[in-house]
Structure 1
């Protein structure tokens, strides 16, 4: 596996190892993930060299690559092709694993990782042992993937490079759909077409579990239904009316520091209280999607509703999704620090909206520290990012984390900061952001670091920096 330390690749590696396959791989840099895979039984190498193909003592039967990340001149990839070793993509392997039994795949512009993780937590609490692959660390299991004993496979279906159209799932969750990854797709229409193609692959025996509160998801579901796909809809009672089947409805949503509670009506008659241990209306909506998908696989009569609900209530969260990084004792009070992967305006708005309800209950301020991810995304959504960040009381915006993109003239943090209506600071790098944040925070504040880049390292530094100093002033 070339690039075995990546989130998606490492998940597949773990499942293969759990099922008894011999796995070797390489990555450009050493990492905790690489060491963890080694402890799990993989043979790993740091650096890309042709001889890494024989690291396990013999040539591999197949070589796996992540299509989006591995350059064509990678020496291991070149050596594999020269030797006639079949080269397949991670998504092809994932699709093969999913076809071994009943499969649930989670797609959508936002919420895939959280929804998949809730699904696994609920199914496990209800007595199932599925195989799973998640794009983040499921904190209560301490891993992003596992090969389970039951013939059920649960995974995210990532639309970012279009590879999800190759999967053949039994049940699909569609959390939402709005334009993203336009650097790859070019137009919103092309982006939506990938979802439509994927959903049309659901068999007659399967189902699409779709959020009907979301306009994009509802439209995708409507098109899938026209192609003969059975739609299982869920929504809040205040959501828009539509002509699709509504199987689950949420009412009386309450967000607090302990998570989110709501009243669930199922099949128009069963009414029960739902609780998920992560704040946000979007989180409890995602949990309903997970419940409905699990019920589709288990069967309505065999489904352990109480067990699944208990699993949701005890859900420990996902790494980089509303993840607590520490609490700082400060001037007779405290400051809580969280980290979140939010890197699209809708995600930032959802996270800060949920955080706002917690902050207002405690009487403090909400401080958002945001690192834009990709120049193209920053250029396209600058004003939307600014509107979302303005939900915070104080805002710090770092310069753009380019990742795979080269800088674009005129595209920088200023595109966002000029439209933010809350007090805002601009930070050239993580060190500057650390200095700004530790100098402004006050007792009762809640700090969120947001973004898909290396800003994830900032939260622990804020906690350590203020604890060391004894005061943020």
Structure 2
């Protein structure tokens, strides 16, 4: 499979349908979505991961999971796809290359799968998972039958991939590792651009250059008018349109009625006003929804079919996900791991459950992000009635000298530390409380433990 070094990947870079494809690091969200999409396109898919249990869910979708040490499946593959989290000198990669088997990084394989379709790609520092999901649901409701790959599990699909027979593909475009630069979108959506993944880019200027390259490649560009960074990207595109609450947005949103169960909204354009119902709370979700519906309109969806397209949307897994709710306590799990996301999540929860004590349990994700945003994290967390910070979840990073959760705690008086084994004590509340867990690491396991404990199942909760 010859490929020019700077050429964008195309379907011809993949083996023909029916051929075996092996995925290294298959348990990650992006790799799982790709595996399912390859199955839907007729490929014989297998894979391995250090976390075999997390990968086992794919077996019910005809994906064969093997141990990392099992080289037999790799030796028969027509292509090996590997996660960005894997080192280039991983033993299995070395084995494949020495055997002459083509290898592609996950981002390039995704591009090869979708670049020859009508591609709508959603990028942004935050909000991209939700907007991608909303756009997929809206275009599905409009009858466009999209192929969709998303970074979070979507309840109606039972996974984070939707097979589609239409020409349209809707994908989440990740800026990490410059992955989105492997995509060739017809329509690019940019939700926000703030300092993030600077471990990949070095500085905000290089990050914005990456977003600008992604955006200018597209024939059409849609950006959030409420985000200064996104608007700077819009300046580089002559046919950019905007969405959001801003009075001069091409597609402006107004919230007519809002509550815990959702909100009634209006989408305003120069030509028309479109009412729509959204099944999720929060001003940030109203903003996300108008972006998704605006994109669907631009892709040719009939307005009348979009009015109820998001009425049943309750969020993506780990995005304001309510795990337990009673008169005494509500337990919520959320993926927020950037200061802007933390602030938006706290505002949404406070609006949806007014009058309750809001206790935020935050797990910083990555040492570099903790170092770069400690003060902003502390400022955002101060919006909670009580804020507790877990130890840093390092993920792919090694510890950085002098960087710990203490940087956040020392930046603002009143923020406390909490250890994983102390979570159950937070359930013993004296008045109605919302216990909100936030972070991109394994804090989700603590959220589920707390929910089970709050449900009266302490033995199961403590046994995990």
CA contact (8 A) 2:265 2:278 kept: no
Aligned to 2:400, what secondary structure does the other structure show? coil
Pair 1:285 & 2:287 matched: yes
CA contact (8 A) 1:397 1:426 kept: yes
Unaligned 5+ segments in structure 1 are none
Pair 1:324 & 2:333 matched: no
Pair 1:264 & 2:267 matched: yes
Unaligned 5+ segments in structure 2 are 1-22, 459-464
In structure 1, the partner of 2:245 is 236
TM-score normalised to structure 1 length: 0.88
**Whole-angstrom CA distance in 1 between matches of 2:393 and 2:47:** 27
In structure 1, the partner of 2:5 is none
**Whole-angstrom CA distance in 1 between matches of 2:380 and 2:374:** 10
CA contact (8 A) 2:390 2:420 kept: yes
In structure 1, the partner of 2:235 is 222
Aligned to 2:101, what secondary structure does the other structure show? coil
Aligned to 1:311, what secondary structure does the other structure show? coil
In structure 2, the partner of 1:133 is 149
Question: How far apart are residue 367 of structure 1 and its match?
Answer: 1.0
Cα distance 1:376–1:212, how it changes in 2: closer, same or farther (>3 A)?
same
In structure 2, the partner of 1:464 is 452
Question: How far apart are residue 224 of structure 1 and its match?
Answer: 2.3
Cα distance 1:466–1:213, how it changes in 2: closer, same or farther (>3 A)?
closer
Question: How far apart are residue 254 of structure 1 and its match?
Answer: 4.7
Pair 1:431 & 2:421 matched: yes
CA contact (8 A) 1:50 1:75 kept: no
| Worse overlay, 88-97 or 211-220 | 88-97
| Aligned match for 1:15, one of 34, 37, 46 | 37
Aligned to 2:235, what secondary structure does the other structure show? helix
In structure 2, the partner of 1:154 is 170
| Aligned match for 1:273, one of 262, 272, 275 | 275
In structure 1, the partner of 2:335 is 341
**Whole-angstrom CA distance in 2 between matches of 1:379 and 1:112:** 24
**Whole-angstrom CA distance in 1 between matches of 2:69 and 2:231:** 44
In structure 2, the partner of 1:173 is 189
Cα distance 1:314–1:69, how it changes in 2: closer, same or farther (>3 A)?
same
CA RMSD of aligned residues (A): 1.8
| Aligned match for 1:397, one of 385, 389, 393 | 389
Cα deviation digits, residues 276-332 of structure 1 (max 9, x gap)? 22222111111111112122222xxxx22232221211113200000111124xxxx
CA contact (8 A) 1:23 1:42 kept: yes
Cα distance 1:253–1:280, how it changes in 2: closer, same or farther (>3 A)?
farther
Count residues with an aligned counterpart: 436
Question: How far apart are residue 138 of structure 1 and its match?
Answer: 0.8
Matches within 5 A, 1:285-304: 285-298=287-300, 303-304=301-302
CA contact (8 A) 2:225 2:246 kept: no
Aligned to 1:25, what secondary structure does the other structure show? strand
**Whole-angstrom CA distance in 2 between matches of 1:454 and 1:254:** 35
Pair 1:310 & 2:304 matched: no
Cα distance 1:443–1:52, how it changes in 2: closer, same or farther (>3 A)?
farther
Aligned to 1:437, what secondary structure does the other structure show? helix
**Whole-angstrom CA distance in 2 between matches of 1:419 and 1:274:** 42
In structure 2, the partner of 1:39 is 60
Aligned to 1:76, what secondary structure does the other structure show? helix
| Aligned match for 1:105, one of 121, 130, 155 | 121
Matches within 5 A, 1:23-102: 23-32=45-54, 34-54=55-75, 59-66=76-83, 68-102=84-118
**Whole-angstrom CA distance in 2 between matches of 1:386 and 1:436:** 23
CA contact (8 A) 1:106 1:157 kept: yes
**Whole-angstrom CA distance in 2 between matches of 1:466 and 1:351:** 22
